[in-house]
Amino acid sequence: MMNIGFVGVGKLGLSCAEIVAEKHKVLGYDIAKRAPENFSMANTLDEVCEFAEIIFIAVPTPHSEDYDGRKPTSMKEPKDFDYTSVISAAQTISALVDENTLVVLISTVLPGTCKSHLLGLFPSGNFLYNPYLIAMGTVKWDMVNPEMIMIGCQSLKEKKYVEKLKSFYDSFMENNPRYEIGTIEEIECLKVFYNTFISAKVSLVNMVQDVAEKLGNVNSEFVCDALAACDRRIMGKSYMKPGMGDGGACHPRDNIALRWMANELNLGYDLFGSVMLSREVQAKNMAEFLCSHGLPVVIVGKAYKPMVNYLDGSSSILVGTYVENMGVDLKYYDPLCGETPDIKGAHCFLLAHDPEVTYGKQLDLVRKFHASHTINEADTAFLHEAAQKYTPVSFPSGSVIVDPWRKTPPIPSCSVIHYGNTRNRS
């Protein structure tokens, strides 16, 4: 059992620390008041540094307002993340610990950030960069079942700190993940390019959807299913489903920030800007399609994905922004976000959340995970509340239901359109 410190116990750090606390002693610190279920909070950073043999820095690296992807950004000046909190925490910690304490940054930063701002604070090599591959809503499951564990170190010759961190993770991982050990710069690249690969993949399959709408007689699902089966050059089936744009607190903002990096490095091209531009144009195309029916619009699902109430990077809001810009009346329906409008008369509905996930299988994975872990009571209450709230919206007679997931069956007295499938559309 190790003594572990978590500096920053917000959206990311709290859930991760609670998982760690099932196997190790944990002491947390945050500038905001927190009430974790199974570990204690310190009043000062000094307490954490005196207690812990490994300290995880999990403070946020926010982007500027309106730079998370929920609104168009392609016309704005590229900006880096705000590293104020990370630098402040690292400076304070470095002055309080010696080389026997391992300091690990898990917050997302752009390539070159650690070298520019942090490595000089830890000349003994006791600083590692270890970003996580997790998604809001499944943080705890992702924490113990990662696709890989990425560890970046100042020198590949210095192995004792890496081995200590590996030993820590081996104590509670459930899926025997692979380790990717590299330089800090390599791991910085690995994390953000992992995210931007997903964004590019989503944009590409949604391009097929746009072609289907423009060309006619094309089912985008047929095209992408065939591409997804190509395992020689197109790797893996994840994200190979046309639908809504990429969203969340990581992917859009990483691409937006990488535009800044491309400019700083003078790469001579801006692939990342093109990815974000395609995301925005795809959202505008969808908005124009919704508005073309001459009805007020309801977007079903305001959060960036089902079963969470996070609006960061929501592609639903991005589509909604274009709908509003076209002067069309817009409502959102998403009980978890407090959006339950009174809908009377015919409307054009966009099913922004996969209806099968929203109303069918959304709790299966969560239930299995909860059965084998100590779960925060607040999280449990939220999930039960979510299950109760996620009831299908009622569609008034004469409404148009636009389903980019192509799963909704015919609905009496309404017109159901499988967006992206024009093969049999009259």
- Which pLDDT does position 181 carry in this prediction? 96
- Dihedral-angle region of residue 343 (phi above 0 means left; psi in -120 to 50 means alpha; beta otherwise): beta
Percent of the chain exceeding pLDDT 70 equals 92
| pLDDT at position 235 over 60 | yes
| pLDDT at position 360 over 60 | no
Identical fold between 3-191 and 242-418: yes
- Which pLDDT does position 255 carry in this prediction? 85
- Which pLDDT does position 62 carry in this prediction? 85
The phi and psi torsions of 209 (rounded to 5 degrees) equal -60, -45
Q: Are the CB atoms for 328 and 296 separated by under 8 Å?
A: yes
Least reliable range by pLDDT among 44-53, 96-105, 169-178, 378-387: 378-387
Q: What angle do CA 265, 269, 274 make, to 5 degrees?
A: 120
Mean pLDDT score of the chain: 89
Q: Does domain 242-418 have CATH number 3.50.50.60?
A: no
**Domain boundaries defined on the chain:** 3-191, 242-418
Q: Are the CB atoms for 200 and 254 separated by under 8 Å?
A: no
| pLDDT at position 373 over 70 | no
pLDDT tens digit string along 149-158?
A: 999 999 887 7
- Which pLDDT does position 374 carry in this prediction? 60
| pLDDT at position 361 over 50 | no
Q: What distance in Å separates the CA atoms of residue 44 and residue 59, rounded to the nearest whole number?
A: 15
Q: What distance in Å separates the CA atoms of residue 296 and residue 344, rounded to the nearest whole number?
A: 11
pLDDT tens digit string along 294-307?
A: 999 999 999 998 88
Q: What distance in Å separates the CA atoms of residue 330 and residue 324, rounded to the nearest whole number?
A: 7
- Give the pLDDT band (50/70/90) at residue 365: very low
Least reliable range by pLDDT among 230-244, 308-322, 408-422: 230-244
HEC readout, the chain: CCEEEEECCCCCHHHHHHHHCCCCEEEEECCCCCCCCCCEECCCHHHHHHHCCEEEECCCCCCCCCCCCCCCCCCCCCCCCCCHHHHHHHHHHHCCCCCCCEEEECCCCCCCHHHHHCHHHCCCCCEEECCCCCCCCCHHHHHHCCCEEEEEECCCCCCHHHHHHHHHHHCCCCCCCEEEEEEHHHHHHHHHHHHHHHHHHHHHHHHHHHHHHHHCCCEHHHHHHHHHCCCCCCCCCCCCCCCCCCCCCCHHHHHHHHHHHHHHCCCCCCHHHHHHHHHHHHHHHHHHHHHCCCCCEEEECCCCCCCCCCCCCCHHHHHHHHHHHCCCCEEEEEHHHCECCCCCCCCEEEECCCHHHHHHHCCHHHHHHHCCCCCCHHHHHHHHHHHHHCCCCCCCCCCEEEECCCCCCCCCCCEEEECCECCCCC
| pLDDT at position 359 over 70 | no
- Please give the CATH architecture assigned to the domain spanning 3-191: 3-Layer(aba) Sandwich (3.40)
| pLDDT at position 369 over 60 | no
